Amino acid sequence: GAVVSQHPSWVICKSGTSVKIECRSLDFQATTMFWYRQFPKQSLMLMATSNEGSKATYEQGVEKDKFLINHASLTLSTLTVTSAHPEDSSFYICSAGPGSPQETQYFGPGTRLLVL
């Protein structure tokens, strides 16, 4: 089956620093990848749609200058949390799909970010 990996799996950083999270599709190419955020005991909130070779599409309320997304290749998307603050602490999950017709999304294992 389709496999999506994320790196790192967890990260602790100081307030004010930037953190980069990678999302890779290991056995398929993904024109589109998605970034989600999940707070404890809550559902996933879509942050943005990452498009290979073009700008990401952000959901309402998500600051594009704070959450920088780069989709440089068909197998890699990165999310950079800039000038992280404690309220950015969360579980970040990416997903990707082989594309139509199934439109099935496969999720990475998630990255837990703790900002001190």
**Would you tell me which residues interact with other proteins (CB under 8 A)?**
6, 32, 34, 42-44, 46, 49, 93, 95, 97, 99, 102-110, 112
Under 8 Å between Cβ of 52 and 71? yes
- The CB-of-38 to other proteins minimum distance in angstroms stands at 9
Residue 97 in tokens: 């799909």
- The CB-of-52 to other proteins minimum distance in angstroms stands at 12
- The CB-of-21 to other proteins minimum distance in angstroms stands at 13
By C-beta, is 28 or 107 nearer to other proteins? Answer: 107
By C-beta, is 83 or 112 nearer to other proteins? Answer: 112
Residue 20 in tokens: 């980069």
Contacts of 41 (CB under 8 A, 6+ apart): none
Cα 80 from Cα 102, distance rounded (Å): 29
